[in-house]
Amino acid sequence: MTPFQEKESYGMADLVEIIRILRDPVDGCPWDKVQTHQSIRKNLLEEAYEAAEALDRDDPEMMREELGDLLMQVVFHCQMEQEAGRFDLEGACDAVCKKLIFRHPHIFPDPSGHTTHKDWETLKREEKGRRTLDDELDSVPVTLPALMKAQKTLARASRYGVTAPALDIPLGEDPARQVGQLILSAVVLAQQAGMDAEESLTRALEAFVQEAKTQNSELKAANAECAEDNH
């Protein structure tokens, strides 16, 4: 049995130590010590959704519990990486701190005195090395739910003047409800046709991305040809 001193109140260091104990290859919990990133991947997603529900309810007790569960998942994954000798929780904290400082030059000025007026999205694209439309579209997380992924993809494509066709429907006094009803109707239509709405949207989005890349390549080729002719 691994020694552990119980306390009236625990902090982050205690959580890290508890997870380390649970993951101990000899004395750890039979379930916890055999888990992998993939085996508990779904748990991380579920905890994130439960935390989101707590936020929506504005329930402090529920938020405290669900955010704690989500934090435990983060520590658990970092512990597995520490065991693999790749990084630990401190490394993850270091990465996000550097990211926040880089993306807020108006709050954390460069020690050299250099200032920048670039917005958040511009700084984020520079940080991630996203310089072209293809970079933007390829870097949208593939694991996002289809609707969330579609919104992010369309937003990025629009920066390059690429848009998807939209229904020509006038919006009334409650556009949010109207759009929501259209989405709901599309789900009903998919069910009636024996299709999965999530998969259908994913396929449509893949087709849009491919077409956007093709159009962008053709436009760049045309511009290059035009520039050559002008010389």
Top-confidence residue, 197 or 130: 197
Cα dist. 78→19, 23, 25, 82, 208 in Å? 10, 12, 16, 6, 36
| pLDDT tens figures, 158-181 | 988 888 988 888 888 999 999 999
**Between these two residues, 17 and 222, which has the higher pLDDT value?**
17
Of the pLDDT bands very low, low, confident and very high (cuts 50, 70, 90), residue 132 is: confident
Q: Are 15 and 72 in contact (CB under 8 A)?
A: yes
How does pLDDT run across 31-74, given as a tens digit for each residue? 999 999 999 999 999 999 999 999 999 999 999 999 999 999 99
Least confident window among 12-21, 112-121, 170-179, 200-209 = 112-121
111 alpha carbon, distance to own chain's centre: 31
pLDDT exceeds 70 at position 230 = no
If you classify domain 12-87 with CATH, what class do you get? mainly alpha
Distance of CA 105 to the CA centre of its chain: 23
Contact 39, 3 (CB under 8 A): no
Domain assignments of the chain as residue spans, ordered by start: 12-87, 130-163+176-230
Digit-coded pLDDT (tens) for 80-116: 999 999 999 999 999 999 999 988 888 888 776 665 5
Share of the chain above pLDDT 70, in %: 88
pLDDT in the model for residue 159: 86
pLDDT at 114: 60
118: how many CB neighbours lie within 10 A of its CB? 13
Q: What is the pLDDT of residue 221?
A: 73
Distance CA 208, CA 217 (A): 14
Element holding 202 (H helix, E strand): helix 197-230
